[in-house]
């Protein structure tokens, strides 16, 4: 059955939308997708949109989802009988997805979905599947029964079993353009919009969820500690303290890199202030008195450190080297 898919209320991601629209129209949807993008980039909403469309009771009458019928409304509340969502527990960012819950969800595949719709097993933060979970999923990915879909959302596919990745059709979500973000954040009446855009890496969800004032407090704390440090041992201790904030069951390298964005913006602000353009500053934090050359160098060192952390350098070491250079 072909489907005239649309994406009401979803911003950006034109390429992915075009692809899904064409696949839905030609009845060529894959039974497993891997949606890759930053947290808050819309992976979950995109998957939910497809689910809602495939289950919409008016899907044969025109553009789907209609968002009005009982099925669409249940989907919007995440209370749809065909929608099974698995996610790590909210309280602990690094918690794993429970294997028992995954196995229970996979057992439902033995029965056809309810109504004329499609069942989705939707896994948020698929990196948090442990190897047992990944292996349980692999079997179902081989050939799920008709009208069952498995959707994996991930930020870092390299953290997934390669065999999982190879069995899913991949959709890469892109960061939103600043002007699209600006418009959306204005409509929501957000404060500190330039800082939100600069620090969210094109992820609307992150821009909406962030608390710029609290982030600046954290930055202020880090800087005060940094300027107080006398010895390399002090710096190492500070590096350990920073890294420990991003260490749960596994290391949240992306979270640490996002935190360092704040430090990069601080030196960027110092640079634009020294260059006579203080109106371009993004943070409320007043940049301490350093030269333009030093601000540019420091900005660059932060970016280097972020790259090192993303390419698996030991965070404590990379942070200590960074802080030594900043002083
Ligand atoms: Zn509907």
Q: CA–CA separation, 3 vs 180, rounded Å?
A: 28
Measure 24 CA to ligand 1 centroid, in angstroms. 16
Residues 19 and 168 reside in one and the same domain = yes
Q: Does residue 217 fall inside a structural domain?
A: yes
Measure 66 CA to ligand 1 centroid, in angstroms. 4
Residues 148 and 76 reside in one and the same domain = yes
Measure 126 CA to ligand 1 centroid, in angstroms. 28
Measure 35 CA to ligand 1 centroid, in angstroms. 23
Q: How many domains would you assign to the chain?
A: 2
Q: CA–CA separation, 59 vs 63, rounded Å?
A: 7
Q: Which domain holds residue 238?
A: 211-326
The predicted model scores a pTM of: 0.80
Q: What is the pLDDT of residue 92?
A: 57
Q: Per residue in 243-281, pLDDT tens?
A: 998 887 677 888 899 889 889 989 998 998 888 887 777
Q: Show the low-confidence residues of the chain (pLDDT under 70).
A: 1, 90-94, 249, 285-288
Measured between alpha carbons, how far is residue 105 from residues 149, 165, 264, 299 in Å?
12, 20, 43, 47
Domain-ending residue, one of 108, 143, 172: 172
Q: What is the CATH number of the domain that holds 82?
A: 3.40.50.300
Q: Does residue 187 fall inside a structural domain?
A: no
Residues 19 and 145 reside in one and the same domain = yes
Instruction: Please list all protein residues whose beta carbon sits less than 5 angstroms from ligand 1, which is an ion.
Output: 56, 65-66, 69, 72
Measure 68 CA to ligand 1 centroid, in angstroms. 5
53: part of which helix (H) or strand (E)? helix 43-55
Measure 112 CA to ligand 1 centroid, in angstroms. 20
Residues 99 and 147 reside in one and the same domain = yes
Q: Per residue in 102-142, pLDDT tens?
A: 999 999 998 999 888 999 999 998 988 888 899 989 988 88
Measure 223 CA to ligand 1 centroid, in angstroms. 52
Residues 137 and 50 reside in one and the same domain = yes
Q: Are 66 and 103 in contact (CB under 8 A)?
A: no
Measure 67 CA to ligand 1 centroid, in angstroms. 5
Residues 29 and 147 reside in one and the same domain = yes
Measure 28 CA to ligand 1 centroid, in angstroms. 21
Q: What is the pLDDT of residue 287?
A: 66
Measure 285 CA to ligand 1 centroid, in angstroms. 48
Measure 51 CA to ligand 1 centroid, in angstroms. 11
Q: Does residue 193 fall inside a structural domain?
A: no
Q: Does residue 227 fall inside a structural domain?
A: yes
Q: What is the pLDDT of residue 286?
A: 67
Neighbours of 148 (CB within 10 A): 23
Residues 168 and 19 reside in one and the same domain = yes
Residues 34 and 108 reside in one and the same domain = yes
Q: Does residue 180 fall inside a structural domain?
A: no
Residues 152 and 55 reside in one and the same domain = yes
């Amino acid at each position: 059955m072909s489907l005239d898919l649309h994406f009401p209320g979803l911003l950006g991601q034109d390429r992915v939308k075009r692809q899904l629209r064409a696949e839905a129209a030609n009845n060529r949807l894959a039974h497993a997708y891997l949606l890759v993008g930053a947290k808050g980039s819309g992976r979950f909403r995109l998957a939910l949109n497809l689910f809602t469309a495939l289950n919409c009771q008016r899907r044969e009458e025109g553009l789907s989802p209609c968002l009005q019928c009982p099925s669409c409304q249940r989907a919007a509340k995440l209370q749809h009988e065909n929608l099974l969502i698995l996610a790590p527990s909210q309280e602990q960012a690094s918690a794993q997805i429970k294997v028992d819950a995954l196995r229970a969800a996979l057992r439902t595949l033995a029965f056809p979905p309810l109504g004329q719709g499609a069942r989705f097993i939707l896994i948020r933060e698929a990196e948090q599947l442990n190897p047992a979970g990944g292996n349980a999923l692999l079997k179902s990915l081989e050939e799920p029964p008709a009208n069952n879909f498995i959707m994996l959302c991930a930020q870092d596919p390299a953290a997934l079993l390669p065999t999982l990745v190879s069995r899913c059709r991949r959709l890469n979500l892109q960061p939103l353009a600043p002007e699209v973000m600006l418009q959306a954040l204005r409509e929501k009446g957000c404060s500190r919009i330039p800082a939100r855009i600069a620090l969210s890496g094109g992820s609307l969800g992150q821009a909406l969820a962030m608390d710029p004032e609290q982030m600046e407090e954290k930055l202020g704390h880090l800087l005060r500690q940094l300027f107080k440090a006398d010895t390399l041992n002090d710096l190492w201790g500070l590096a350990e303290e920073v890294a420990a904030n991003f260490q749960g069951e596994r290391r949240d390298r992306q979270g640490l890199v996002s935190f360092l964005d704040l430090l990069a913006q601080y030196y960027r602000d110092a640079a634009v202030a020294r260059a006579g353009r203080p109106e371009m500053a993004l943070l409320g934090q007043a940049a301490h008195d350093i030269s333009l050359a030093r601000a540019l160098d420091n900005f660059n060192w932060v970016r280097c450190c972020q790259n090192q952390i993303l390419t698996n350098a030991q965070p404590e070491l990379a942070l200590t080297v960074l802080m030594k250079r900043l002083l």
